[in-house]
Amino acid sequence: MAHRRGRAGIGALKKKGETSKFTKKAEEIKTTSLKSAMETVKQLEIKLTKFAKAHHKTIAKDPAFRHKFLSMCAPLGVDPLTTKKSFWSFLQMGDFYHELAVKVAEVCFAYRSRNGGIMSIKEVQSVLLRRGTKFRLNEVVTNYSADDIVVAIGKLKQLGSGFRTVKVGGTQMILSVPTELDNDHVQVIQLAQNAGGGITLNSVSDMIGWEDDRVKRAMDLLLSEGMAWIDRYEGLEYYWFPSVWKDSFVM
């Protein structure tokens, strides 16, 4: 019996030694792969910088090109919108998005009492256009898109300001209040959008088959936040949503 235990012990030691070798080799491969990946990222960053310097005028003037450029940066964790001390400062994009974020926030605050803090990006763009918005910090940028506004809102979100974007159907909306909207709230707003801005409790129940209590809970929060208005007509209660009702008139 002792002889058998000895053989088993030797086998175990051999296996342990082999496992140790495999572990060591795996660590070596992991280290090599990490170094290779870091070197690849570094080279890509260099190429990205050269690209930005060569095309900085197009990046500044063309919103679609600018969006594609930022999409190229994102997977590498590169942020061209950082401080002026950054090696990306020649783009001056940080200044542009900072000022755009401020102007978008001003519009959202001005209209909050009317829409409860939810407003479509299209409507925000329309208001900025009517105001003849100019950018003092970056005079090179003369045009901006909905994608630029989404990026600007992302910068506000990082500050914990309550600003964020939410998609309602095919419309991108800006929320400027800390209220959390769940899927029920978003779906109710989408139904109102599809109906031209107004719905009833019964129409919601009929369209998506919810129980009355579920519809009422969703609607009560939207009413309390001012995102919906109630209008009584011929014994019926209509719920109107200024954010999607006004959006349908924005060209």
Average confidence score pLDDT of the chain? 76
More confident residue, 246 or 121: 121
| DSSP structural state of residue 104 | H
Please report where in the chains the tokens 């719905």 appear, as a residue.
199
Q: Per-residue confidence at 140, pLDDT binned at 50, 70, 90?
A: low
Q: Is the pLDDT of residue 64 over 70?
A: yes
Residues whose CB falls within 8 Å of the CB of residue 140, separated by 6 or more in sequence, listed in order: 57, 60, 61, 92
pLDDT of residue 191: 92
Q: Is the pLDDT of residue 83 over 50?
A: no
CA 2 to chain centre: 68
Q: Per-residue confidence at 249, pLDDT binned at 50, 70, 90?
A: very low
More confident residue, 27 or 244: 244
Percent of the chain residues past pLDDT 90, beyond the cut: 20
| DSSP structural state of residue 74 | G
CA distance 126 to 132: 10
Mean pLDDT of 205-226: 92
pLDDT of residue 18: 55
Q: Which two tokens stand for residue 103?
A: 């102007």
Mean pLDDT of 99-118: 88
Radius of gyration of the chain (CA): 28
Report the run of H or E that residue 97 belongs to, with start and end: helix 93-115
Residues whose CB falls within 8 Å of the CB of residue 119, separated by 6 or more in sequence, listed in order: 107, 108, 111, 173, 174, 176, 243
Q: Is the pLDDT of residue 47 over 90?
A: no
Integer distance in angstroms from the first to the last C-alpha of the chain?
91
pLDDT of residue 57: 75
Question: Residues 157-195: pLDDT tens digits?
Answer: 766 667 889 988 888 999 988 888 889 999 999 999 998
Q: Which two tokens stand for residue 240?
A: 């109107």
Give counts: helices (H), strands (E), the chain: 10, 6
Mean pLDDT of 111-137: 83
pTM above threshold 0.75? no
Mean pLDDT of 23-33: 60
Q: Is the pLDDT of residue 229 over 80?
A: yes
- CA triple 103-104-108, angle to 5 deg: 120
- CA triple 199-110-231, angle to 5 deg: 25
Name the 3-class secondary structure at 195. coil
More confident residue, 137 or 118: 118
More confident residue, 223 or 44: 223
Q: Per-residue confidence at 49, pLDDT binned at 50, 70, 90?
A: confident
Closest C-alpha among 100, 127, 165, 111 to residue 250: 127
CA distance 239 to 16: 71
